[in-house]
Amino acid sequence: MFKILIVDPNNPFRQSLKEILMHRFPFLDIQEASDGTEGMDKVNKFDPNVIFLEIHLPAQSGLDLARRIKFDHPDIIIVILTSYDLPEYQTAVEESGVEHLIPKDEWTGMDMIDLVQLILSDLDIDGHEGYRDEKHPHEHSS
């Protein structure tokens, strides 16, 4: 199963993003966390493929958390969410190894769906069939 973790202190935003993604990709397993401590705990227990991570978290920076996650789990794809599309954020995101920076106010639900579809395609996962884990790859016929 393809797993997504949403780490954001804004409960209505988490619920909305989860609903949008589950409606389009019902095979996803999506969990939520409201802060960095809960987020790191879920990273270790849930082992997500993708994390949507708010840059401003209570008690710590989302970028600091992203660096820790990338150090311990380099294969997890991280999408930083921010309400501020500042050049210094872009630089910090690139330096931390994070794959995507999304300005929340400019992205729609369809943009989020398109991003997840792109990630699934990049990982050779059919957005309609669901996740094929590496131990049982899907055979492609030529």
**pLDDT, tens digit (0-9, with 9 covering 90-100), for 41-82:** 999 999 999 999 999 999 888 999 999 999 999 999 999 998
Domain membership of residue 105 as a residue range? 3-122
In a domain, 135, yes or no: no
Whether 139 is covered by a domain: the verdict is no
Query: What pTM was computed for the model?
Result: 0.85
Asked if residue 122 has pLDDT above 60, the reply is: yes
Residue 127 confidence class, pLDDT cut points 50, 70, 90: low
Note whether 13 and 7 are within 8 A (CB). no
List the CATH number of the domain containing 114.
3.40.50.2300
